[in-house]
Amino acid sequence: MTIPELKPLLHVCDLKVSYGGIHALKGINFHIAPGELIALIGSNGAGKTTTLKAIAGLIPWSAGKIHYRDMSLQHVAAHQLIREGLALVPEGRGVFAQLTVEENLRMGAYSRSDKSTIANDLQDIYGLFPRLAERHMQLAGTLSGGEQQMMALARALMSRPKLLMLDEPSMGLAPQMIAKVFETIRNISTQGVSILLVEQNARLALEVAQRGYVMERGLITISDNAANLLDSDVVRRAYLGD
């Protein structure tokens, strides 16, 4: 018996984005199925962050379509997307430095109407991120870079996302903390959350992903399952340092 493929949670079709006269995205196509962890890799300036921002409603696109849960995102505001279960952890983390860890986490649930369950979710988050539980009354700005990255992930999870987009989660972190962050990403994925991972460390990204897309100068040039991309001579020479 043939098992039918899952209908995409996110479908990006011929997406184009321009900044003035610069064509940042030149017509990209990709999809993410429910529960998938997808890696989007490429060199600096390839268009990876632009892709995430366009999906998240933070920048306009000039052509193409983005469908999320069978809904066109053409005229959907960024704050509405959070309510629909689409969350972005941006490069640089974007923490509220003068708020405590717990206040930052509660900000992640601001769009939710099920207020009675937020306290329970907060305890679940502390179970997933014990270090944040230890520092829940500490000002976010005094955390280490790795702790801030953990908090940014946790804050996004407080919105109960169906699709979590991560932009360079390993940037600026020590190797030990990078390992912890990627272990957490794996754990989040096993809970059924779809993840679109943009990561400069292509090897790490492909080791946790099921499938991957390679971007070059605003185009997706290669797509395959992650294991094949790790074994690809082209990918290894260009992005894995082999």
Per-residue model confidence as pLDDT tens digits over 185-221: 999 999 999 999 999 899 999 999 999 999 999 999 9
Residue 57 pLDDT class (50, 70, 90 cuts): very high
% of the chain with per-residue pLDDT over 70: 97
| pTM attached to this predicted model | 0.92
What average pLDDT score do residues 224-236 get?
Answer: 93
**Would you state the pLDDT for residue 190?**
93
| Helical axes 118-128 vs 145-157, angle rounded to 10° | 140
What fold does the segment set 33-60+77-240 form as a domain? Rossmann fold (3.40.50)
pLDDT of residue 115: 79
For residue 23, pLDDT beyond 60: yes
Q: Which residues contact 115 (CB under 8 A, 6 or more apart)?
A: none
Cα distances (Å, whole numbers) of residue 180 to 58, 188, 238: 29, 12, 26
Binned at pLDDT 50, 70 and 90, residue 19 comes out as confident
Residue 1 has pLDDT above 60, yes or no: no
Query: Which two tokens mark 234?
Result: 């082209």
pLDDT of residue 21: 83
Q: How far is CA 106 from CA 40, 41, 96, in A?
A: 29, 31, 11
Per the CB < 8 A criterion, the answer to whether 207 and 230 are in contact is yes
DSSP the chain: -PPPPPPPSEEEEEEEEEETTEEEEEEEEEEE-TT-EEEEEE-TTSSHHHHHHHHTTSS--SEEEEEETTEE-TT--HHHHHHTTEEEE-TT----TTSBHHHHHHHTTTT-S-GGGHHHHHHHHHHH-HHHHHTTTSBGGGS-HHHHHHHHHHHHHTT--SEEEEE-TTTT--HHHHHHHHHHHHHHHHTT-EEEEE-S-HHHHHHH-SEEEEEETTEEEEEEEHHHHHH-HHHIIIII--
User: Could you tell me the two tokens for 205?
Assistant: 């990204």
Domain extents for the chain?
33-60+77-240
Number of residues written out for the chain = 242
Distance from C-alpha of 159 to C-alpha of 27, rounded to nearest angstrom: 30
The predicted-structure confidence for 78-136, as pLDDT tens digits, reads as follows 989 999 999 999 887 788 999 999 999 999 998 887 878 999 999 999 998 999 999 99
pLDDT at position 27 is 97
Pairing of strands 194-198, 211-216: unpaired
pLDDT mean across residues, the chain? 91
| pLDDT of 2 over the 70 cut | no
The pairing of strands 71-72 and 63-68 is: antiparallel
